[in-house]
Amino acid sequence: MTDFSHPPRVLPKPVEPLPIPIENDNEFRIVKTAILSETHVRLEEKFAELERHLHKSLLAQDSETALILLTKGALGLGSSDIHYDVTETEAEIRMRIDGSLATVLRLSRPEYKLLLERLKYKSELKLNITNIPQDGKYRITEVADGHIDVRVSTLPVRTGENVVCRVLDSTKSIPKVEELGFIWTSKRQIDKSLNKKSGMILVTGPTGSGKTTTLYSMMQDLNIPTRKIITLEDPIEYELPGIVQSEVNEKNGYNFHSGLKALMRQDPDIIMIGEIRDLETANTAAQGALTGHLVLSTLHTKSASETLERLLNMGLPPYILSSAIDIIIAQRLVRRLCTHCIETYQADESQNDIIRWMMRDIGIEAVSKAHKRGFKLSRSTGCDRCGYSGYKGRMGIYEVLYVSDTIRAMIRSGASPVEIMAEARKNDLMLMREDGVLKAMRGKTSLEEVFSVID
């Protein structure tokens, strides 16, 4: 398999189209749905595994281990909320996964009592008080680096006491840009943009797509004492030593637009502005980029081409956009497969078809010698290191549009985003779905994970 962390000798180039059975979007969606429902079955298996281990530790009166398993299990399953709901006969434990609550497991009332006592004790709540709501916090230190903090709230209900926990993972540290998982061509383009004294770098994606982490990684790399970096955020998510961070306060009229103007008067070299939402902010940010500042920001758009479209639709004149913009990074987050319980398997026919379909434009021959025999993929079965979820941590999948001189001229002369993307494809631009499939083929994530974030 080609390793994309190093430059291949021959660049991947479009090749002859393959005979691919899946030809339209509709068929793609049918196959995708089938594969995702299979994922659902696998998720249920992971719930069952977690349940088995929980019963086992509770049977041994080891409620501490049970609580650790459950907390780490939530993070592993990609959830940060654990709900304990008690009924007359049992307690149901649910987790919010991808926005909706999933029933993960059930405990008997005696088991729940044991776990609840440990939870309250660890959170420094009063054990004997069960008839008023209490708030607390516990910490789990049994993790590789750092700890996990959990905010706990209890609620007295007719059948006992319910609990809702919010899991905060502080082991999440800011990665270096090179650790973000860009293919080498994109990484080189990003470095080029970061090394410029002025210009505009935009990171785009929906809420929860890791935009802030990418910006923080870049600022961390740019952060040297001879440069002044100022941010305007909503809210400040991490504290970065050496960087001047400011938070918007809409109530007092301190918003992105007015704040950005104030920031410019602070003689900065680099400005990070949390989000561009309107023309005024876009305009001021672009002016900043044109007057010798490096401007970093985000936009709530799905892809690189949609970002160009949005900025132009906002009313930013093409001649300003074309001169200011340097690079657009569109991204999503996928969960990483746990490396302790990973296994490879031979993709089935529908998976092979869909991989060929997703990679049809860049030519699968360029990325895999094994394409004729079918692809190898990876999955994780779940172990105690990943809380039986099969996943540990997350990573980005990207689409990086580097604004070359040709593209700059195209934007200025009013070319459509479609034409611009076609030009960028000639210069190795990889679509997000292609980056995702490559990462799945390299065993970093599962194909199902990639499907679940690509639309």
Rounded least distance, CB 337 to Zn ion, Å: 8
Rounded least distance, CB 342 to Zn ion, Å: 8
> Can you state the percent helix, strand and coil of the chain, rounding each to 5?
40, 25, 35
Q: Specify whether the CB–CB gap between 382 and 49 falls below 8 A.
A: yes
Q: What end-to-end distance do the CA atoms of the chain give, in Å?
A: 26
Which CB, 272 or 386, lies closer to Zn ion? 386
- Stated as kind and residue range, the H or E segment containing 26 is helix 25-59
Which CB, 49 or 435, lies closer to Zn ion? 49
Closest CA to 375 of 119, 23, 2, 36: 2
Rounded least distance, CB 62 to Zn ion, Å: 20
Between CA 397 and CA 445 the distance in angstroms is 10
Which CB, 245 or 339, lies closer to Zn ion? 339
Which CB, 341 or 401, lies closer to Zn ion? 341
Closest CA to 361 of 429, 419, 305: 429
Which CB, 75 or 152, lies closer to Zn ion? 75
Rounded least distance, CB 335 to Zn ion, Å: 12
Rounded least distance, CB 54 to Zn ion, Å: 16
Between CA 137 and CA 154 the distance in angstroms is 11
DSSP 301-324: -SSHHHHHHHHHHHT--HHHHHHH
- Pairing label, strands 199-204, 294-299: parallel
Rounded least distance, CB 51 to Zn ion, Å: 16
Rounded least distance, CB 383 to Zn ion, Å: 4
Rounded least distance, CB 384 to Zn ion, Å: 8
Which CB, 72 or 122, lies closer to Zn ion? 72
Which CB, 94 or 392, lies closer to Zn ion? 392
Between CA 100 and CA 198 the distance in angstroms is 43
Supply 8's token pair.
Answer: 């291949």
Rounded least distance, CB 169 to Zn ion, Å: 16
Which residue's structure tokens are 């785009």? Answer: 204
Q: In sequence order, what are the residues at sequence separation of 6 or more whose Cβ sits closer than 8 angstroms to the Cβ of residue 115?
A: 58, 63, 66, 67, 70, 84, 107
Query: Which residue has the closest beta carbon to Zn ion?
Result: 338
Rounded least distance, CB 79 to Zn ion, Å: 16
Which CB, 137 or 340, lies closer to Zn ion? 340
3-state class (DSSP) for residue 345: strand
Which CB, 102 or 383, lies closer to Zn ion? 383
Region for 294 from its dihedrals, namely left if φ exceeds 0, alpha if ψ lies in -120 to 50, beta otherwise: beta
Rounded least distance, CB 350 to Zn ion, Å: 26
Which CB, 293 or 379, lies closer to Zn ion? 379
Which CB, 340 or 376, lies closer to Zn ion? 340
Closest CA to 91 of 105, 80, 101: 105
Which residue's structure tokens are 């103007």? Answer: 261
Which CB, 48 or 290, lies closer to Zn ion? 48
Helices and strands (H, E) in the chain, number of each type: 14, 15
- Rule CB under 5 A: which residues touch Zn ion? 338, 340-341, 383, 385-386
Rounded least distance, CB 300 to Zn ion, Å: 34
Helix axes 417-426, 405-412, angle to 10 degrees: 170
Between CA 30 and CA 413 the distance in angstroms is 40
Q: Specify whether the CB–CB gap between 128 and 117 falls below 8 A.
A: no
DSSP 117-133: HHHHHHTT--TT--SS-
